Chains A and B, each alone.
Chain A
Amino acid sequence: MGSWRRWTRAERVLPRRSGHYVVTLIELLTSRAETDPRLCGFRFLHETSANGGARLTYFELREKAQTIAVALRAIGVRKGDRVLLLYPPGLDFVAAFFGVLCAGAAAVPAHPPHPARLRSTLPRLEAVVADARPAAVLATAAIRTAAITARLLPAARWLATDELDESQAAEWCEPHVDRDALALVQYTSGSTASPKGVLVTHHNLVRNSVVIHHAFGHSPRSRGVIWLPPYHDMGLIGGVVQPLFGGFPVTLMSPASFLMCPLNWLKAIAREGATTSGGPNFAFDLCVRKTTPEQRARLDLSSWEVAFVGAEPVRQETLERFADAFAPSGFRPEAFHPCYGLAESTLFVTGGVKGARPAVCSVSATALSSGRVAPVESDSRKMVSCGSATHGARVLIVDPERCVRCEPEEVGEIWIASESVARGYHDRPEESERVFGARLADTDEGPFLRTGDLGFVREDELFLTGRLKNVIIIGGRNHCAEDIERTVENCHPALRPGCCAAFSVDLEGEERLVIAAELERRPTEGVEQSPTGIQMLVNTIRSAVAELHDVRAHAVLMLRPAAFPRTSSGKAQRHLCRANFLASTQP
């Protein structure tokens, strides 16, 4: 079957309202509730009960969303306001997200504060609130009570949506919201102290949904299972918006229930006959590590058509290991769908062709590290394609210094132009202009989104090779290198300020965090320059980094005074530290 027929079939099932395709998520929800009111669109599996769980039909979701919208209006939230969402994964979050949109406001999803981990979760939340200045905070009653007890966000106007029992949907008036209105402020970029909120419009969300719908070949017969957190773009846009857009049911579960028992995820896929599910690369490794051959033999994963892999670099070794391990479960390797995306482009940028095995190429690692793509000699590095852009999106490889397009097979920064590219960062006009308004120096073509990611294009397929930005991605989550360095410098007086580097290295097929820190010249009281003293310092660094950033340091290097590599101007040289570390680990 040709691509034209496939496309028209997909178009036919796109949601419509009053004869036209939906242009906002409010129209999308209304359309689904009108055409499939009884369809049980959302289910949530609780951590401990495998078969139970809450459900929402499209009709119920609309009722709840409209009720929340009415309540938001009643506490003074106006069209165009921003509203913070503090929820654990679950259906309350889904209803609140659409409730905010139905009020004509924009949702700001955030990681809810963890009572036992306030020290690590609170600074970021407070910085997000300070930046977003939400008109109200939506939460569950439990989270609101915990927050008020802990005196969090004292000035906020709270609304506990699980306390709204009676439907107020009849009082809802549809706000006039056009396609360019703000729908979502996604805080996944920037440092802890200075988070950046990506401004995503209704149009961005609808266009990105069309692209994902097409790339994943979704239809009303699709079935989703998603454990990704809803306050993350992949969990929200891929796990909540996409199923509603495609009009197919999705079963949600919490990241904790997946991490505690990866088999639960796979069992849910088997039980639901899911066609679409996925996660970051590490999730597939974890499944192999935490299941036994007997458990795999009892699983039926033959329904799985799209196993998307994204949010961190995709590794061929992981895909091969998973495909081999789960072949007895009926898993098909052509289901793998590596994708590339980022919040600044709503979610999805490129992906493979459904049902086709992802392209893999072997290139020289040495040439690659100097920016060239060369055929393999002895230092092969296997690269997995992240597919191609579709629907008129443009993906360019650009020399980040000169801002001109790279030669074919040359590594450069990935620049994007598409209808999914967000409007900019909240309240950061200069940075938005620099990141979202880039132009090619020679042709003045633009605007483009500068992704800060490095890659090359071969035969129209995008291959990711690294990052220009100082971001460390571990377990599918982004960490800002400067944040970790600040934590290290501040965790002990024996460490010299400004002389610390946090960087990542690839070890055993995983990205791992390495920290290098220099000791103060003057001996610090209580710290012996002995193996025990140094070990205690290393432990202090490890625990501070784990507590504040929730990431484990693979190695901590303590450097003698003045041993830290710096430029002539005294600037710390992160890349030199990294090179030294890699040289020291070579056999």
Chain B
Amino acid sequence: MQSDSELEPASQNRPTAEAIQGFIISKLAEELKINPAEVEVRAEFASLGLDSIVIFNITGDLAAWLQRDLESTLLWERPTIEAVAQFLAADASAACEAL
């Protein structure tokens, strides 16, 4: 079982949408015990048949990896892996520009 600290933290650089997407795919594959290549980035989370325990787990793992607070409802409000990744990447660059 892979724990969060074994994955490289994402703090050094602003992670790109692609990197975030890769992280979510790896977590989903781990939870669903499937090959990461089988995870479709445009598939809705709902179509993967995930329950809220798994969704909260993944959101928490993502927050720890990004080292930032995330709303617990994030994965319900952005329904696909791609949408979540793009939102977080855009949000991160907006936050940096504001500084």
Q: Interface on A for B, CB 8 Å cutoff?
A: 47-48, 114, 116-117, 254, 256-257, 259-261, 282, 286, 289-292, 294-295, 474-475, 539, 542-543, 545-547, 550-553
Contacts and interface: CB of A to CB of B under 8 A. Distances in A.
Nearest to A543: B47
Interface of B: 1, 3-6, 44, 46-54, 56-57, 59-60, 63-64, 69-70, 72-73, 76-77
A290 B5 contact: no
Nearest to B77: A116
A contact face: mostly helix, strand, loop, or mixed: helix
B52 A116 contact: no
Given A290-B3, A552-B50, A552-B51, A260 B57 contact: yes
Contacts of A260: 56-57, 59-60, 63, 70, 72
Identify which of B5, B47, B51 gathers the most chain A CB atoms within 10 Å of its CB. B51
Contact of B64 (A254, A257, A261, A546): A261
A290 B6 CA distance: 12
A234 B73 CA distance: 24
Contact of A550 (B5, B44, B52, B59): B52
Given A294-B5, A552-B51, A256 B56 contact: yes
B72 A256 contact: yes
B54 A552 contact: yes
A117 B76 CA distance: 8
A254 B56 CA distance: 12
Contacts, number: 71
B60 A259 contact: yes
Contacts of B49: 539, 542-543, 545-546, 552-553
Contacts of B4: 290, 292
B75 to A, nearest CB: 9
Contact of A114 (B3, B59, B76): B76
B5 to A, nearest CB: 5
A281 to B, nearest CB: 13
Contact of A546 (B51, B63, B70): B51
Contacts of A257: 72
Contacts of A295: 5
Nearest to A538: B49
20 contacts: A47-B72, A116-B76, A117-B76, A259-B56, A260-B59, A260-B63, A286-B53, A286-B57, A289-B1, A475-B51, A475-B53, A542-B49, A543-B44, A543-B48, A546-B49, A546-B50, A550-B51, A551-B51, A552-B49, A552-B54
A292 B3 CA distance: 7
Given A260-B63, A260-B72, A292-B5, A542 B48 contact: yes
Contacts of A286: 53, 57
- 5 closest A-B pairs by beta carbon, nearest first, are A542-B49, A260-B60, A259-B56, A116-B76, A256-B72
Nearest to B52: A550
A192 to B, nearest CB: 16
Contacts of B70: 260
A552 B52 CA distance: 9
Contacts of A551: 51
A261 B63 CA distance: 9
A339 B6 CA distance: 36
Contacts of A545: 49
A440 B76 CA distance: 50
Contacts of B57: 259-260, 286, 290
A529 to B, nearest CB: 22
A294 B6 CA distance: 11
Contacts of A290: 3-4, 57, 60
A295 B4 CA distance: 11
A539 B44 CA distance: 11
Contact of A48 (B48, B64, B69): B69
Contacts of A294: 5
Given A475-B51, A543-B46, 7 more contacts: A114-B73, A117-B76, A257-B72, A261-B63, A261-B64, A286-B57, A546-B49
A282 B53 CA distance: 10
Nearest to A254: B72
B60 A261 contact: yes
B27 to A, nearest CB: 12
Contacts of A291: 3
A585 to B, nearest CB: 15
Contact of B47 (A116, A261, A292, A539): A539
Contacts of B54: 552
